[in-house]
Structure 1
Amino acid sequence: MMLNFFDQFMSPAHLGIPLMALALTLPWILFPSPSTRWLNNRLITLQGWFINRFTQQLLIPLNLAGHKWATILTSLMLFLITLNMLGLLPYTFTPTTQLSLNLGFAIPLWLATVLIGVRNQPTAALGHLLPEGTPTLLIPTLIIIETVSLLIRPIALGVRLTANLTAGHLLIQLIATAAFVLLPLMPAVAILTATVLFLLTLLEVAVAMIQAYVFVLLLSLYLQENI
C-alpha cells in the first residue's frame, strides 16, 4: 500500500497525545550550556563565535534603538535553524513545515514592529502608506495597495518558510522512492538517482539554514522601518 507523501507533515502523536511540544522543546536541550571554567571546550567556543558573528551582521542595518531586539532575533534564528536541520534526519518531524506555527512566529513579531513605529513615530509610520509626490487621483488606490502590502508581510514570511521546507522534503522523498524502485530494475540509473539525492540533501541543508536567516533578516528590516 502506497502511503501519502504528505503524511510526513502531519503533527506526530503518541497514544493520542500530540508531540508538537516535545518537537519544539528538543532543540533547546541539544545546545551546550556555557561552563564556569576559564576555558570552554571547542563546541561552546564555536557556538559563541557563531552567535557573535550573526548578531554583528544582524545589527549592522539597525539603529541603536533596534539593538534591544538582538536577543529575540538571535534566539529566533538559532531556534529556526535547529528545527529545520533536525527535520532532515530520518524518523523526525519538522515543526516549521506547519503554516500555523510559522504564522505564530511571524504575526506577533511583525505586529510588534508596526506598533513600535505607530507609538514612536506615527507620522513616519503612516507616511509609508502614501509615497511622496503621488497624484491626487491615485491617492485612495495607493493607500489601499500599500495597506494590503503591509498586512500581507507576515503571511509572506510564514508561507515562504513553509513552502521552501515542504517542497524540499517532498522532492527528497520522491527521488528516494524512485531510487528504491529503480534499484532492482536498473541499478545504474538507481545509483545516478542516489547521487542526485545526496546532492539534493546538501542543497536542502543549505536551504534550511538560509530560510531561517531570511526569516529573521526580513523581520529586522521591518523593524528598521519603524524605529
Structure 2
Amino acid sequence: MMTSFFDQFMSPTQFGIPLIFLALLLPWIMFPHPTKQWMNNRLTTLQTWLTLNFTKQLFSPLNMLGQKWTLALISLVVFLLTLNLLGLLPYTFTPTTQLSMNMALAIPLWLATVLLGMRNQPTLSLGHLLPEGTPTFLIPPLVLIETISLFIRPLALGVRLTANLTAGHLLIQLIATAAMALLSLMPSMAMLTIFILLLLTLLEIAVAMIQAYVFVLLLTLYLQENI
C-alpha cells in the first residue's frame, strides 16, 4: 500500500534493478510492425494512415533541410505516445512523469536546432534576440530577456510534459480513493464518483496523446526558426 500519492511516480526496482529500462523498451515490443503482404491488417493500416497524415501536417511548412528530421521526430512522438498511454494501465509505470527523462529528451533536441541555426544562418538566428526597430536604450534588456527566453525553452518542454501527466495521474488517484471510501457509506455518491472517474480517464487519454503531439510540435517550431 502506498504511503503517499507521489509514490506512484517513483521509479520501481526489482532485486535492485531499475525497471524503467523495461518500461522504455515495452512500447517498441508491443507496437505492430508492417508486413510484406499486399494487404496489411486493419491495425497496421490505421497506424500507417495516422502516421502519414501526422507527418504531412507537421512537416509540410519545413524546407528540405528541416524534413530530414522527420524520421527522428516521428519516432519520438510515437515513443512518447505509447509511453503516455501505457502508463494509464493498472500496475504500470509512466517514465514520462520523470522530469529527468523529459529533460534528457528536450535539451539535446533543442540544442541541435539552435546549433543548426548558428551553423547555417547565424545572422538570422542571432537576429531573433532583438526585434527590428527596437529603441537603442531598450536593446540590452531585450537581448537579455530574449536570451533567457531561448534557454527556458527546453525547460518548458520537459516541465510541461511532466506536469500535465503528473497532475492527471494524481487526480485519477484522488478520485479513485474517494470512490472506494464512499462505496460502503454512500453507494449512490460512489457511483457518481466512478462515472466522473471514467470521464477523467478519457480526458487523461486525450491529454496523453495531445502532450506527445505538443512536445514534437514545439520542436518543429524551434526547428523552423533555425532553417
Range of TM-score over shorter length = over 0.9
Q: Could you tell me which residue of structure 2 aligns to residue 125 of structure 1?
A: 125
Pairwise mapping of residues 53-72 of structure 1 onto structure 2 (< 5 A)? 53-72=53-72
Q: Could you tell me which residue of structure 1 aligns to residue 79 of structure 2?
A: 79
Q: Could you tell me which residue of structure 2 aligns to residue 51 of structure 1?
A: 51
The percent of aligned pairs where both chains have the same amino acid is 73
Partners in 2 of 1:113 and 1:2 — Cα distance? 42
Q: Could you tell me which residue of structure 1 aligns to residue 184 of structure 2?
A: 184
Cα offset for 1:60? 2.2
Cα offset for 1:122? 0.3
Q: Could you tell me which residue of structure 2 aligns to residue 34 of structure 1?
A: 34
Partners in 2 of 1:170 and 1:74 — Cα distance? 29
Distance 1:153 1:88, change over 3 A: same
Partners in 2 of 1:32 and 1:2 — Cα distance? 34
Partners in 2 of 1:17 and 1:203 — Cα distance? 33
Partners in 2 of 1:151 and 1:78 — Cα distance? 26
Q: Could you tell me which residue of structure 2 aligns to residue 95 of structure 1?
A: 95
Partners in 2 of 1:189 and 1:68 — Cα distance? 54
In the alignment, structure 1 segments of 5+ residues that lack a partner are: none
Deviations 1:61-101 (A, max 9, x none): 21222110110111000000000000000000000000000
Q: Could you tell me which residue of structure 2 aligns to residue 114 of structure 1?
A: 114
Q: Could you tell me which residue of structure 1 aligns to residue 143 of structure 2?
A: 143
Q: Which runs of 4+ in 1 moved over 6 A?
A: none
Q: TM-score, normalised by structure 1?
A: 0.98
For 2:216, the aligned partner's letter is V
Pairwise mapping of residues 193-212 of structure 1 onto structure 2 (< 5 A)? 193-212=193-212
Cα offset for 1:2? 6.1
How many residue pairs match? The answer is 227
For 2:34, the aligned partner's letter is P
Deviations 1:13-58 (A, max 9, x none): 0011001111101100011122111221111111111111111111
Q: Could you tell me which residue of structure 2 aligns to residue 16 of structure 1?
A: 16
For 1:91, the aligned partner's letter is Y
Deviations 1:157-207 (A, max 9, x none): 000000000000000000000000011011111111011000000000000
Compute the RMSD of aligned alpha carbons: 0.9
Q: TM-score, normalised by structure 2?
A: 0.98
Partners in 1 of 2:64 and 2:2 — Cα distance? 56
For 1:150, the aligned partner's letter is L
Partners in 1 of 2:22 and 2:170 — Cα distance? 23
Structure 2 residue matching 1:145: 3-state secondary structure:
helix
Q: Could you tell me which residue of structure 2 aligns to residue 221 of structure 1?
A: 221
Partners in 1 of 2:198 and 2:77 — Cα distance? 26
For 1:82, the aligned partner's letter is T
